[in-house]
Structure 1
């Protein structure tokens, strides 16, 4: 059975919106260039190499698909060849290699995917999808790269639901980025 892992860049106050600065958000671009942060880039590569598949919402899928197919290197090679699943009611024909659209009942499709795959299914960005997955108890683990910036506004990773978490690991990346790994704390 697959393990569903949320992996995200997040500000100290919980914002996940527009970390790269491509979406026009007033406070966008708060992560800087990941390539300039070797520890963060290594985490991204290790995560991709260890994952069975990616799961993305449509907007995040389109963002990644618009950038990675033309890139080269170990991370690009892995992202371009690994299975990718995109949750969308509008996307018909995904153009990125090894991509499958999950249409219809999102919860049923993701539950089925977790049962069919062995290994890590990593959700990158996709905060609207993350809200749905968390609200319906489909998430197993969160890997958060917490950037030392407070934005004061923007879309946040966590919605209005309660999520008890158990810290599994923490370490510092580069100059003050906290890399925190949590599992969902479920009753025994």
Structure 2
């Protein structure tokens, strides 16, 4: 049985959108963490906006660290509006929760979500995310899209690491798991 892992870049105040602010803090140490995370997964699970951003960038950077793995992984895209998907992707049609639950039951490694705020919130509300890998950067933006809605959720810390650039790499699982 596979796990669903949500990997997110966050500011200290919980903002997750437009992560251009990560560049000064991204180093080989964080890159190694990302490489290990991607190696532990068989597929990506993405919302439409994240899929479109990734599909518009990654295929054009074949020499970037992690590009070979990112480009080769199968992708499942949750969208009500996307008509076609390329880049080794298929659109999840119908009930997203049921589709993700079905994917979790298939043998193999894990399903990895990057970004995809609406998808993460939906799956969190339906208890379909097994683990959160949060990379918290030492930046405060003050406004922007936050990862978690106002609804309370409790988590158990599984591991933590601080990079040499001050990024906290936190692994949480649901307190009910």
Q: Same fold (TM over 0.5)?
A: yes
Partner of 1:87: 78
Partner of 1:118: 108
Greater CA drift, 76-85 or 114-123: 114-123
Partner of 2:37: 47
Partner of 1:166: 156
Q: Is the 8 A contact 1:40 1:174 kept in 2?
A: no
Partner of 2:18: 18
CA distance in 2, matches of 1:114, 1:83: 14
Deviation, structure 1 residue 151: 1.2
Residues 1:95 and 1:33: Cα distance change in structure 2 (over 3 Å): farther
Q: Work out whether 1:177 is the aligned partner of 2:167.
A: yes
Residues 1:162 and 1:117: Cα distance change in structure 2 (over 3 Å): farther
Deviation, structure 1 residue 33: 5.9
Residues 1:136 and 1:4: Cα distance change in structure 2 (over 3 Å): same
Query: TM (normalized to structure 1)?
Result: 0.88
Q: Is the 8 A contact 1:38 1:174 kept in 2?
A: no
Partner of 1:134: 124
Q: State the 4+ residue runs in structure 1 displaced beyond 6 angstroms.
A: none
Deviation, structure 1 residue 72: 2.1
Unaligned ranges ≥5, structure 2: none
Partner of 2:9: 9
Given candidates 44, 60, 66, the residue that maps to 2:56 is 66
Partner of 1:25: none
Query: TM (normalized to structure 2)?
Result: 0.93
Give the length in aligned residue pairs: 176
